[in-house]
Chain A
Amino acid sequence: DAMVIQNPRYQVTQFGKPVTLSCSQTLNHNVMYWYQQKSSQAPKLLFHYYDKDFNNEADTPDNFQSRRPNTSFCFLDIRSPGLGDAAMYLCATSPQGVPTDTQYFGPGTRLTVL
């Protein structure tokens, strides 16, 4: 089945130790998104890629970086995780990013920072 895959599902890191979360998709969608969602809060968009065009949200901290080496894969790098970065990180895709496009979410990676 076509899907959005995130690895790992659970990630534990230490304060200040860089961590990379990965997302892959078999849907061949042009647009990929990274969201951060804390408990009982709305998902917060960090970045999105329209094909290779990178779009950074204005309030995304510099501590967060992203890479999209090809259509299928996208990575979220957290350079120096702080305790406040503990959250669920959701990857999503949509075909073209136009209004009627649904976003398809991966299962998420829950990040714990010790």
Chain B
Amino acid sequence: GQNIDQPTEMTATEGAIVQINCTYQTSGFNGLFWYQQHAGEAPTFLSYNVLDGLEEKGRFSSFLSRSKGYSYLLLKELQMKDSASYLCASMDSNYQLIWGAGTKLIIKP
């Protein structure tokens, strides 16, 4: 079956660094997406990885290991506005997104 696993909730301190992990098992693989979703709002795109390695985009970086079925989202210099859910989604061989349930990130001052 197809499955995306990510932690339900994480807590971090303002100004710190946090890594949100995601493991995936999908029928085929056409890339791994990370989306940010604030409470009551729609998801917004953060990153897309299809090749192994680290993609850096400002304070946010995303890493992919295809052989391990593993990705992480790294958030640096955390700000209070980063409090949100972070959704990992794998695109399968039919180009459908298989979504994780999201990791709720709580930032404390």
User: A residues near B, CB below 8 A?
Assistant: 40-45, 88, 90, 97-100, 102-108, 110
Contacts and interface: CB of A to CB of B under 8 A. Distances in A.
Given A42-B4, A105-B44, A99 B99 contact: no
Interface residues of B, number: 23
Chain A binding surface SS class: loop
B91 A42 contact: no
10 contacts: A40-B8, A40-B101, A40-B102, A42-B100, A42-B101, A45-B97, A90-B42, A99-B91, A100-B31, A100-B50
Contacts of B96: 45
Chain B binding surface SS class: loop
Given A42-B87, A88-B40, A102-B33, 16 more contacts: A40-B8, A40-B101, A40-B102, A40-B104, A42-B99, A42-B100, A43-B43, A43-B99, A44-B99, A45-B97, A99-B30, A100-B48, A100-B50, A103-B45, A107-B41, A110-B40
B101 A105 contact: no
A90 B33 CA distance: 17
A104 B8 CA distance: 24
A107 B95 CA distance: 23
A36 to B, nearest CB: 11
B98 to A, nearest CB: 8
A32 to B, nearest CB: 14
Interface in B69-109: 87, 91, 95-97, 99-102, 104
A107 B104 CA distance: 19
